[in-house]
């Protein structure tokens, strides 16, 4: 697993999986929130969210505030210009400002590097540190202004409510991408119940355990691979599969924590993952993985371009543009662009060449097909450069002068076999299915009512032990 240079600048961020968040920040915020009268709850959340962001990004907090003010004012302008001859001007202005912020802070050095490479110039890099969460809150602001323009959302005249929507700390730094229309009513009025709070706590703890116990442990295996003196074919495959599982448990665990925290505060965020690794096609995988991003590009890029209701060449163009943007959204590096275009090609081929063949295959064979191409994609995604991705792929396919396995590889395979097995099973709905069956019986429901809280308490204590004892606690999606 690579650790981007960004990590050096993110050490002070208040991760959900940190002692400072779990034992200081969150208890104080919850206490203030629930004792505050209803009309002050958004104010408490806003102040807490701004502090949460300021803790890790003091300077860039001003950028987020500027983005909030821009989105709020553009919403009012769009609403006021509705129906006029210049109705599109405020919308275009909103898009230019929001995307302008994103491009400048995330992609400027990438463009300079490529200009220097192509034209032999020596333009100095600005060495801008990317603000955490900018990709997420930019898309949230854009979804608001576009929906106001389309008439699908009412303009928000209360800047406190709008600022709360954009900066809401449970989903601020890494999503899911919450659309304004999804929580519009809850910004003005929301109810709280013990059932929702209990659900939120349980969901948060499960996400926390996924991230700290599984994802972090798999990340340690990635460090071992990077530092290994002798690489082997088997170790290349182990590393690729471990990273794929790591990023799933890292990001889906964060989404679980965000959804759980949102529920505690009375918000119902939509799901972001739906067991993607059980998919029988790549198209199905992308309906199950990072769903908030996929639906955002579908509704605000793909469909406005014509979607699939166009000629085949135009549809291929639409798919290519969407996946180019999806890859580029993930990072200012060529490997992300290639990763996006890789999926564009595969999805085009799957729809027009492989689809009929896939339907005839046994489900197990279809699953193997999906997993094979997913592993390749995550190797590309995880690389620091195109050359590194090629080296890792060559290592996996016997194209390097390395042995198939070694004592060192076998040792680490045995050491991490348990966590990888747990990760593979945990990435399926097997546990959910067992719990559902137990719930069919009265005795089963009674047993679960005692067993589940005990498990959650034990997991929370175990996570605390991990956090107190260990120091390896990155969050991969900070870099996006």
Looking at the annotation, which residues are catalytic? 330
Please provide residue 396's backbone torsions phi and psi, each rounded to the nearest 5 degrees.
-70, -30
Positive or negative torsion for Cα 395, 397, 402, 406: positive
Is the separation of the CB atoms in 388 and 4 below 8 Å?
A: no
One-letter-per-residue 3-state SS of the chain: CCCCHHHHHCCCCCCCCCHHHHHHHHHHHHHHHHHCCHHHHHHHHHHHHHHHHHHHCCCHHHHHHHHHHHHHHHHHHHHHHCCCCCCHHHHHHHHHHHHHHHHHHHHHHHHHHHHHHHHCCCCCCCCCCCCCCHHHHHHHHHHHHHHHHHCCCCCCCCHHHHHHHHHCCCCCCCCCCCCHHHHHHHHHCCCCCHHHHHHHHHHHHHHHHHHHHHHHHHHHHHHHHHHCCCCCHHHHHHHHHHHHHHHHHHHHHHHHHHHHHHHHCCCCCCCCCCCHHHCCCHHHHHHHCCHHHHHHHHHHHHCCCCCCCCCHHHHHHHHHHHHHHHHHHHCCCHHHHHHHHHHHHHHHHHHHHHHHHHHHCCHHHHHHHHHHHHHHHHHHHHCCCHHHHHHHHHHHCCCCCCCCCCHHHHHHHHHHHHHHHHHHHHCCCHHHHHHHHHCCCHHHHHHHHHHHHHHHHHHHHHHHHHHHHCCCCCCHHHHC
Contacts of 152-159 spanning 24+ positions with Cβ under 8 A:
152/181, 153/180, 153/181, 153/184, 154/184, 155/75, 155/76, 155/78, 155/79, 156/72, 156/75, 156/180, 156/184, 156/187, 157/76, 159/68, 159/69, 159/72
């Amino acid at each position: 697993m690579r650790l981007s240079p960004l990590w050096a600048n993110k050490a002070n961020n208040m991760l959900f999986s940190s002692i400072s968040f779990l034992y200081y920040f969150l208890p104080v915020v919850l206490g203030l929130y629930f004792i505050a009268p209803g009309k002050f709850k958004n104010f408490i959340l806003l102040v807490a969210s701004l502090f949460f962001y300021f803790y890790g990004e003091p300077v860039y907090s001003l950028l987020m505030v500027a983005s909030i003010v821009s989105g709020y004012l553009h919403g009012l302008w769009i609403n006021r210009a509705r129906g006029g001859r210049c109705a599109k001007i405020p919308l275009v202005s909103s898009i230019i400002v929001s995307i302008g912020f994103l491009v400048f802070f995330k992609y400027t050095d990438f463009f300079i590097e490529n200009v220097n490479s192509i034209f032999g110039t020596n333009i100095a890099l600005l060495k801008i540190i990317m603000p955490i969460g900018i990709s997420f809150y930019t898309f949230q602001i854009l979804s608001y202004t576009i929906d106001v323009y389309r008439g699908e959302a009412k303009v928000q005249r209360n800047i406190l409510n709008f600022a709360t929507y954009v900066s809401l700390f449970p989903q601020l730094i890494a999503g899911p991408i919450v659309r304004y229309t999804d929580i519009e009513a809850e910004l003005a009025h929301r109810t709280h119940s013990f059932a929702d709070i209990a659900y939120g706590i349980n969901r948060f703890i499960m996400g926390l355990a996924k991230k700290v116990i599984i994802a972090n442990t798999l990340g340690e295996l990635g460090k071992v691979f990077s530092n290994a003196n002798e690489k082997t074919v088997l170790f290349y495959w182990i590393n690729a599969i471990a990273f794929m599982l790591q990023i799933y448990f890292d990001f889906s665990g964060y989404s679980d924590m965000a959804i759980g925290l949102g529920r505690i505060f009375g918000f119902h965020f939509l799901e972001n993952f739906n067991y993607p690794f059980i998919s029988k096609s790549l198209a199905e995988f992308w309906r199950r993985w990072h769903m908030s991003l996929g639906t955002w590009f579908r509704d605000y890029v793909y469909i406005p371009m014509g979607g699939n209701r166009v000629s085949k060449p135009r549809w291929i163009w639409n798919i290519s543009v969407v996946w180019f943007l999806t890859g580029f959204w993930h990072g200012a590096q060529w490997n992300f662009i290639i990763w996006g275009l890789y999926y564009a090609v595969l999805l085009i081929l799957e729809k027009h060449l492989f689809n009929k063949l896939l339907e005839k295959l046994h489900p197990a064979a279809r699953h193997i097909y999906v997993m094979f191409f997913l592993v390749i994609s995550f190797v590309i995604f995880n690389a620091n450069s195109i050359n590194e991705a090629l080296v890792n792929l060559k290592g996996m396919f016997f194209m390097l002068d390395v042995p198939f396995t070694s004592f060192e590889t076998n040792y680490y395979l045995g050491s991490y076999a348990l966590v990888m097995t747990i990760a593979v099973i945990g990435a399926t709905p097997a546990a959910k299915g067992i719990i559902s069956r137990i719930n069919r019986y009265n005795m089963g429901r009674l047993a679960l009512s005692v067993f589940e809280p005990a498990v959650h308490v034990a997991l929370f204590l175990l996570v605390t032990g991990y956090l107190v004892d260990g120091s390896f606690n990155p969050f991969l999606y900070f870099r996006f």
